[in-house]
Amino acid sequence: MCCTDMALAYVEAHASWSEANTKPSLARDYKAFVARARDGSARAEFAVEGVRCAACMATIEHGLAGMPGVARARLNFSDRRLAVEWTPDAEPDVGGVIGALSDLGYNAQPFDPGRPPDAEAAEMRRLVRALAVAGFASMNVMLLAISVWAGNVSDMAPENRDLFHWIQAVIALPAAAYAGRPFYEGAFRGLRAGRVTMDFPITLGVVLTLIMSVVETLSGAAHAYFDGAIMLLFFLLIGRVLDQTMRRRTRAFAENLATLRCETAARVEADGSVREVPVGELLAGCRILVRPGERVPADGTVERGASDLDQSLVTGETAAVTVRCGDRVYAGALNGNGAITVQVTAAAGATLLDEVEGLMRRALEVRSRALVLADKATRLYVPVVHAAAALTLVGWLAVGAGWHAALLAAVSVLIITCPCALGLAIPAVQVAAAGALFREGVLLGDGTALERFAEIDTVVFDKTGTLTLPEPALADADVDVGALAQAARLARSSRHPMAAALAQAASPAEPYPGAQEAAGLGVRAFVDGVELRLGSPRFCDAELCAAAALDAIPDASVICFRAGDTAPVAFAVRQEVRPDAVDVIAALRAAGRRVVILSGDRASAVASVAGRLGVAEWESGLAPQDKISRLEALGRAGRRVLMVGDGLNDAPALAAAHASLSPVTAAHVSQAAADALFLGRNLAPVLAVLSTGRKAKRLMLQNLWMAAAYNVIAIPLAASGLLTPLIAALAMSGSSLVVTLNALRARVGDGAERVDTAVDAKPEARLVTSAA
């Protein structure tokens, strides 16, 4: 090889190395992040940084739609997750998508639920620091500005005024340079991608105001406008921090679902040996061993053994379910006290856990589309402001005014129309309403849900853990006290929730020594030569006694006790209805709202609760897909549905509903999917979110109308030259103050829709449709 060839080879190798290092997407293998569907299509998800508004979402989706092989690109605005789907005949190019996003001005990486959210946490810290700097600078600059304003009235000496201006400059310029970086960078990214975002007029207004202020200070003029620039940044950063806070909870969904997954499984080989393998290597038909305390790694059927499993992912019920040979188990279920061998029927990627995650992801993607419509006014605002400022500048120059007067009027238009009031119109109400709800025992997770709460005309409840309390209790007060005392001592040796209910119902006592728990059956002990048993009816040979107890209390579960050859005793245990559930349901119906119960529990239990609460519409035995279909049917009928649920199986329904609410005792995934959580044992917070949401929406609309009216009046005044930048800054600050004070009204309840214990909540004459 000649020297020239060697040189060319070196240059090509160096260029390839440089490109791979400057564009890391070209140097990595992303096959592990691509999921293939049965039809051959592929899908990958990305975590995208720098998404600020619906315009960003539209830019990304339209920009990727033109890539070869891309069938669809959908960005979820709430958690900034981008889903890209490729056609069956296309080769998925994950690196190409990352490169295309980089060209559009956004950093992205494949979404990994197990990866800690370092970028998001760093962004939050950055915003909080910027807010702190802007707040400190605003207070000090405003204090100096007030002194100058007062001095202008009382003939302050010019040298003192100039000194105050220079002090303001020393404080405001570095503070604005630091605190305004999120807006400057957003504006630059937008321009780089050939679009103008809301960050651009903010940046233009701040920069021009600071330049004008420096020029005025250098020339010894009477006015400077540092206070207007730094206060604008302060108020807008408040809104940005609130937005980031609301979005942080959304990531919890993927993280909490990830905790239900297993990395490895104990596969039973053909020779009977057990081998730890990655879950991805499991296939339908193979056998796995699930030890006590482990989670089930795949869907399957119990082939050997018995145990108590937490299968709330399927049933939504908190009580453990006893499984034996032939029973189905599902990935993510937590095994109790016995080892079981399971034959796999659906492995990783096809389990019910995967289906629940997919249902919720699709529901969130559909919801995010509404944000595009909500951002239309914002997109119109930017060109209107720029056009108004440009026309003001041109108009003044056309009538013979000098550059100074023309620029002063144009800057006044930009300052007075800066979207401070618009930026605060919604977040200020969200903060005030969130505080009001917190006092009512409600933790608001999604500030955008306030408007949806106001539109609710139908409330759908899950039963177990929502209408009822999460912990079971003894249902029959007329029991044999002696038998209860003995059963309670045995119960203290068991980890079953029903046993815990017996232990709490009796007086405290030590457990029997030597008590042993039989997996999936119950607990036994020998006391003075007599065998004591507590557990299932079969374990205690008490089927007839248990049947009689269930006939008396249909919505209860039964745990039996037997001492030697004496007659068995059946204890009815159930989850009691929340203390104010009857009054809350009555108040909802009195307000004209439709009330429905959708539950995964058995028909007799749901019917009993519905009858006690006076709810005419209920369904039982529903799987997650069934709840989704019921909500979709209500939506097609024009109903605005509030879903109140707590189980893992309720997570997709919570995400698909118009708005959602969960008790704080709910499963982690349901908490992440819900728009709000409520504390305590009462259901009154359901009424609180509806009344507060209605008031918050009214205040949001008032704020938006006031902000719009302010701009309609202010722009002509500023363009006419009647307002200096100082007055424009004062007007801008005044509009923000008015909007904020109006938003604080959300902290005061209007007394609407509270629980009236005098309301008669008698059951209606009929109970409809029961799907077993």
Nearest to 81 by CA among 295, 287, 351, 361: 361
C-alpha distances in Å from residue 96, one per residue of 29, 55, 62, 574: 12, 22, 15, 56
The whole-angstrom separation of Cα 715 and Cα 710 is 8
Q: What is the DSSP letter of 467?
A: I
CA dihedral 514, 519, 521, 524 (to 10 degrees): 0
Q: Which of 162, 299, 327, 462 is catalytic?
A: 462
Q: Where are the beta strands (DSSP E) in 546-621?
A: 557-563, 569-574, 594-598, 617-619
Rounded to 10°, the helix 158-179/181-192 angle is 60
The whole-angstrom separation of Cα 479 and Cα 684 is 33
Location of structure tokens 């204090």: 143
541 is catalytic: no
Q: 62: burial class by Cβ within 10 Å (0-12, 13-18, 19+)? A: exposed
C-alpha distances in Å from residue 682, one per residue of 486, 585, 754: 33, 12, 13
Contacts of 161 (CB under 8 A, 6+ apart): 148, 151, 152, 222
Longest dimension (CA), the chain: 113
The whole-angstrom separation of Cα 140 and Cα 727 is 19
Contacts of 709 (CB under 8 A, 6+ apart): none
The CB density around residue 387, as the number of other CB atoms within 10 Å, is: 10
The whole-angstrom separation of Cα 433 and Cα 693 is 8
Location of structure tokens 């402001």: 385
C-alpha distances in Å from residue 174, one per residue of 181, 205, 285, 635: 11, 17, 66, 52
Contacts of 708 (CB under 8 A, 6+ apart): none
The whole-angstrom separation of Cα 277 and Cα 268 is 10
Catalogue the long-range contacts made by 320-324 (C-beta closer than 8 Å, 24 or more residues apart): 320/496, 320/497, 322/520, 322/521, 322/536, 323/520, 324/520
Sequence letter at residue 239: G
Radius of gyration for the chain, computed over Cα atoms and rounded to the nearest angstrom: 32
Q: What is the 3-state secondary structure (H, E, C) of 185-230?
A: HHHHHHHHCCCCCCHHHHHHHHHHHHHHHHHHHHCCCCCCCHHHHH
C-alpha distances in Å from residue 62, one per residue of 55, 72, 193, 246, 369: 11, 9, 12, 26, 14
The CB density around residue 247, as the number of other CB atoms within 10 Å, is: 18
Q: Which positions are catalytic?
A: 462
